[in-house]
């Protein structure tokens, strides 16, 4: 396993986004062909349209008058982003999706995301059945055409097909904004079939270093700062982890330490304050109850206190060395050994 190259170390830097590269596959329109999915998959309305259904995208995109998204609206969004990525310079992106439509989409999605638990559960209450498929997706990093191909290949979300995206939607690639907005649209359309977890790049620190901030400013010009701030606010609502079918734990980084909460000197007062003491329990594996209570709304320096568990969940790495130890290479998070994996799985009855 190769270590991830991103690091919260401020002395490290990365090249910022320049003009978008050419799409990574042929100019064949994404919607001009269909790809069959595995037998037992759901109805055809979850697949990309057939050649006879292929139409040019309707742009500029407008927000539905009733505020209710439909499958046709989301698929048109996909077409529009695909077309614009091949036909327009980044500076003209606002002619496809105005700031006003952006605001409506992000606001609607944020209301849904902020209500979700830190660790979302995809189970029978979400409609998960014995014939359901759950597609778990790793880092997509602004690769719009990879995401479009994914939906083409696996099928759209539907009653029996769930998607769990495991963070890092932005940075590195040229189309981070399109990727994030597309996935937000699917979240709004099917909130109990599409789950968007947070990655370590969904933070002000990473997006200011690895390209997303510059991408947004390029695409929206004078309104770019507003759009960027709205994206950061939406990032804060993204859940940190998921448990699928009661057995599979997913998180962008991995395991996390336990914390000891000690009362302040005014502990006897009704509205007492508490402080997290990361050193007192630094080498103890955390539990799901602690994850549930963590504050996920901010993840930027300092990586301590209420940021401690989220920092671990998003930045930690597995190691072949047993035990827990500080992740010195990153300067945040942990290294956890196979014994910690075994302990965590057994403790919470996970696979």
DSSP-assigned states of every residue in 70-138: -HHHHHHHHHHHHHHHHHS-GGGGGGTS-HHHHHHHHHHHHHHHHTS-SEEEESGGGT--TT-EEEEE-
pLDDT at residue 302 in the model: 76
pLDDT at residue 22 in the model: 40
- 252 included as an active-site residue: no
pLDDT at residue 307 in the model: 85
CA nearest neighbour of 119 among 282, 253, 238, 261 = 238
Cβ–Cβ contacts within 10 Å for residue 268, how many?
A: 7
Q: Tens place of pLDDT for every residue, the chain, 351 residues? A: 334 556 665 444 443 333 433 433 333 333 333 333 333 334 444 555 443 345 579 999 999 999 999 999 999 999 999 999 999 999 999 999 999 999 999 999 999 999 999 999 999 999 999 999 999 999 999 999 999 999 999 999 999 999 999 999 999 999 999 999 999 999 999 999 999 999 999 999 999 999 999 999 999 999 999 999 999 999 999 999 999 999 999 999 999 999 765 555 554 555 555 455 444 445 799 999 999 999 988 778 777 788 899 999 999 999 999 999 999 999 999 999 999 999 999 999 999
Angstrom CA distances, 317 to 168, 301, 321, 341, 350, stand at 15, 19, 11, 11, 19
**Contact predicate 207/170, CB 8 Å:** yes
Cβ–Cβ contacts within 10 Å for residue 29, how many?
A: 14
Candidate list 141, 145, 201, 276, residue with the active-site label: 201
pLDDT at residue 137 in the model: 98
Tokens of 272: 């007492």
**Contact predicate 216/269, CB 8 Å:** no
**Contact predicate 341/347, CB 8 Å:** no
**Side-chain half-sphere exposure of 156, counting CA atoms within 13 A:** 22
Query: Could you write out the three-class secondary structure of 115-126?
Result: CCCCEEEECHHH
pLDDT at residue 298 in the model: 78
> Can you name the residues that pair with 241 across neighbouring β-strands?
119, 251
Alpha helices for the chain (secondary structure H)? 71-87, 99-114, 144-154, 176-189, 204-209, 212-220, 224-235, 288-293, 308-315, 338-347
Tokens of 152: 């083409």
């Amino acid at each position: 396993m190769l270590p991830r190259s991103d690091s919260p170390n401020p002395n490290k830097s990365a090249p910022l986004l320049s003009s978008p590269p050419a799409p990574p596959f042929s100019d064949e329109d994404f919607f001009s062909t269909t790809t069959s999915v595995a037998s037992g998959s759901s109805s055809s309305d979850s697949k990309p349209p057939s050649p006879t259904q292929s139409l040019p995208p309707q742009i500029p995109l407008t927000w539905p008058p009733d505020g209710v998204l439909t499958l046709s609206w989301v698929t048109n969004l996909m077409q529009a982003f695909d077309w614009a990525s091949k036909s327009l310079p980044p500076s003209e992106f606002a002619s496809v999706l105005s700031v006003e439509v952006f605001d409506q989409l992000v606001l609607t999605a944020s209301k849904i995301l902020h209500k979700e638990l830190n660790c979302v559960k995809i189970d029978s209450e979400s409609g998960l059945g014995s014939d359901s498929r759950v597609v778990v997706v790793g880092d997509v990093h602004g690769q719009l055409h990879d995401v479009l191909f994914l939906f083409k290949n696996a099928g759209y979300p539907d009653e029996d097909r769930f998607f769990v995206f495991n963070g890092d939607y932005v940075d590195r690639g040229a189309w981070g904004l399109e990727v994030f907005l597309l996935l937000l649209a699917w979240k709004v359309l099917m909130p109990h079939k599409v789950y968007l977890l947070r990655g370590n790049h969904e933070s002000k620190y990473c997006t200011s270093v690895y390209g997303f901030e510059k991408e947004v400013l390029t695409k929206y010009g004078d309104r770019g700062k507003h759009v960027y701030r709205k994206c950061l606010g939406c990032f804060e609502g993204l859940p940190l982890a998921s448990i699928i079918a009661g057995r599979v734990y997913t998180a962008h980084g991995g395991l996390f330490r336990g914390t000891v909460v000690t009362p302040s000197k005014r502990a006897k007062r009704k509205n007492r304050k508490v402080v997290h003491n990361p050193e007192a329990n630094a080498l103890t594996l955390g539990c799901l109850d602690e994850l549930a209570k963590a504050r996920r709304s901010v993840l930027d320096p300092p990586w301590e206190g209420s940021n401690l568990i989220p920092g671990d969940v998003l930045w930690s790495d597995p190691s072949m060395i047993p035990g827990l130890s500080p992740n010195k290479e990153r300067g945040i998070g942990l290294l956890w050994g196979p014994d910690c994996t075994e302990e965590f799985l057994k403790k919470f009855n996970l696979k």
